[in-house]
Amino acid sequence: MMKPLAPLTLALMLLAAPAGAVAPHPGPGDPRIFEVLYDPSEVVELHGVLGYQLSLEFDPAERIENVAIGDSLGWQVTPNRKANLLFIKPMSLRPDTNMTVVTNLRRYNFELSVKAKAPAKAIPFSVRFTYPPPVYAIVEPPPLPPPPIDRNHAYSFQGSDKNLPDRMFDDGLATYFTFRSQEDLPAIFAVEPDGQESVVNSHMKDGYIVVDRIARGFVLRRGSEVTKVYNDGYHSQQASALSPVRKPKDPWWRR
């Protein structure tokens, strides 16, 4: 039967586990110029050698804002005037430590170690960061503008001109009226195909009285003043070309 590990034993095992730090590799030119791909979730190993300084080269668009180092006595850390390069130099043989660099765009984590000597051709002089290509969000194109409203302005009238709208049109679904504001508004009735008048539903929108339908005609009544308005552009719903079409009665306005 397996016994559970004590918390202290488990903690020591975790501390002893190998770190997953990333080591820079020589670039395509001089092997002492190293490169490493930036990954915000990785720690970068830097191995310094006594008597040598090492420069870190960041994105040209970046500016160093903060540098924090665990063992500040063992390392000399100096940014350049433009704050896009960082020079680090080990001052003595000391235990490994860490360093964090924060720029205006990114954060970098380093593990620092120092050696007394190393082969001259293996000593890194510079570490240059490379970066993955930017990921662009896919932006959906804006929706197409709605098609223009086909408005029918073909209206004529008979009767009193005192009820006459200043403007009148329909969009195939509703009929729009505006009147002179200083006058009382007339009552609006739709004329059905059989010539009978019917009450309409209406509401106000953007200064218009909007009747929630279209019709062959409307009757506007205000006191003794009566105005008949004819929809000269009216098109009723067409039946199928293969089905019989009802023969219309005489137009209501001729009765």
CATH code of the domain covering residue 108: 2.60.40.1080
> What is the mean pLDDT of the segment spanning 190-198?
91
Q: State the CATH number of the domain containing residue 202.
A: 2.60.40.2500
- pLDDT for position 44: 96
Q: Are residues 76 and 123 in the same domain?
A: yes
Distances (CA, A) of 212 to 196, 215, 235, 252: 18, 10, 16, 21
Number of structural domains (the chain) is 2
Q: Are residues 103 and 168 in the same domain?
A: no
Domain span at residue 32? 25-130
Q: Are residues 178 and 112 in the same domain?
A: no
Q: What per-residue string of b and e applies to 132-141 under the rule 16 or more CB within 10 Å gives b?
A: eeeeeeeeee
pTM confidence score: 0.48
With cut-offs at 50, 70 and 90, classify the pLDDT of residue 236: low
Q: Are residues 101 and 168 in the same domain?
A: no
Q: 7-11, 37-41, 145-149, 250-254: which range is least confident on average?
A: 7-11
- pLDDT for position 195: 86
> What is the mean pLDDT of the segment spanning 175-202?
88
> What is the mean pLDDT of the segment spanning 104-120?
93
With cut-offs at 50, 70 and 90, classify the pLDDT of residue 15: very low
> Exposed (0-12), middle (13-18) or buried (19+): which is 216, by Cβ within 10 Å?
middle
Question: Nearest 5°: phi and psi at 206?
Answer: 55, 40
Q: Are residues 201 and 113 in the same domain?
A: no
Radius of gyration of the chain (CA): 42
Percent with pLDDT over 90 in the chain: 57
In the predicted model, is pLDDT for residue 9 greater than 70? Answer: no
With cut-offs at 50, 70 and 90, classify the pLDDT of residue 182: low
Task: Determine the straight-line distance between the first and last CA of the chain, rounded to whole angstroms.
Answer: 106
> What is the mean pLDDT of the segment spanning 228-243?
66
In the predicted model, is pLDDT for residue 141 greater than 50? Answer: yes
In a domain, 15, yes or no: no
In a domain, 74, yes or no: yes
